[in-house]
């Protein structure tokens, strides 16, 4: 397993862990949606920034783009109240999904340009990401503990989708899958 695949693999497991932790927060009566969402988006951005710094030699800047998307959402969260209005939470999450979809589409285009069949997997995970994101934004009109639970499931699924790329790369025996 090369360094880039290992870093992507570890990053995906951290994201899965973050989503799992978010899903159990309502058990401990943590029901502040704003705080939970800010922590998760910050965690997501920091993890991807560290990923980008660890694989800077591979000229892959999706981690940096993901970090910029997370920073943009954090800036938006300073101006929007998501605790009292679920529509605001849904809209902020939807903007983040759009920004992340553009990043994932650019990564798929990179694989396609290199004539690597991984672009098909990336398009599939992109479609699943958009689908789960839309289903998540539709279902955010409940109490705050249910909102945190739904966000936790979304980020858990997102981590699993991020795990697909390094997992398939490892199973197929390297980065150059033709």
φ, ψ for residue 91, nearest 5 deg: -70, -40
| Better pLDDT: 3 or 10 | 10
DSSP 115: T
pLDDT at 172 over 90: no
pLDDT over 60 (residue 155): yes
Residue 177 lies in a domain: no
- The Cα-based distances of 112 to 20, 88, 119, 128, 139 in angstroms read 32, 36, 5, 19, 34
Specify the pLDDT at position 169: 84
DSSP string, 73-139: HHHHHTT---SS-HHHHHHHHHHHHHHHHHHHHHHHHHHHHTT-THHHHHHHHHHHHHHHHHHHHHT
Burial class (CB within 10 angstroms; exposed 0-12, middle 13-18, buried 19+) of 87:
exposed
What are the tens digits of pLDDT across the range 61-116?
788 899 999 999 999 999 998 888 889 999 999 999 999 999 999 888 888 888 88
Supply the angle between the helices 144-172 and 33-54 in degrees, to the nearest 10.
20
Full-prediction pTM beyond 0.85? yes
The answer to whether residue 148 sits within a structural domain is yes
Q: Percentage of the chain with pLDDT > 90?
A: 57
Query: Hey, what are 93's tokens?
Result: 């999450």
The three-point CA angle 18-39-55 to 5° equals 65
What pLDDT, on the 0 to 100 scale, is given for residue 171?
A: 87
Whether 118 is in a domain gets the answer: yes
pLDDT at 177: 46
pLDDT at site 22: 92
Question: Is residue 178 assigned to a domain?
Answer: no
Distance CA 104, CA 121 (A): 11
CA 108 to chain centroid: 15
| Any domain includes 129 | yes
Summary mean pLDDT of the chain: 89
Number of domains in the chain: 1
pLDDT of residue 19: 93
In which domain, by residue range, is 18 found? 3-172
pLDDT tens-digit profile of 48-65?
A: 899 888 887 777 778 889
């Amino acid at each position: 397993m090369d360094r880039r695949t290992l870093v992507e693999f570890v990053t995906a497991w951290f994201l899965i862990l973050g989503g799992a932790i978010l899903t159990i927060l309502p058990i401990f009566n943590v029901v502040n949606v704003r705080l939970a969402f800010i922590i998760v988006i910050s965690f997501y951005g920091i993890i991807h920034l560290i990923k980008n710094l660890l694989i800077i030699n591979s000229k892959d800047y999706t981690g940096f783009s993901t970090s910029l998307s997370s920073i943009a959402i954090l800036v938006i969260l300073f101006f929007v109240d998501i605790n009292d209005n679920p529509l605001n939470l849904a809209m902020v999450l939807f903007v983040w999904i759009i920004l992340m979809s553009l990043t994932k589409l650019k990564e798929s285009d990179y694989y396609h340009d290199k004539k690597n069949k991984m672009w098909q997997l990336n398009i599939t995970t992109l479609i699943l990401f958009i689908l789960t994101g839309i289903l998540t934004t539709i279902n955010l009109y409940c109490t705050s503990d249910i909102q945190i639970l739904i966000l936790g499931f979304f980020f858990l699924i997102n981590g699993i989708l991020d795990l697909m790329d390094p997992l398939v790369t490892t199973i197929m025996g390297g980065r150059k899958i033709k």
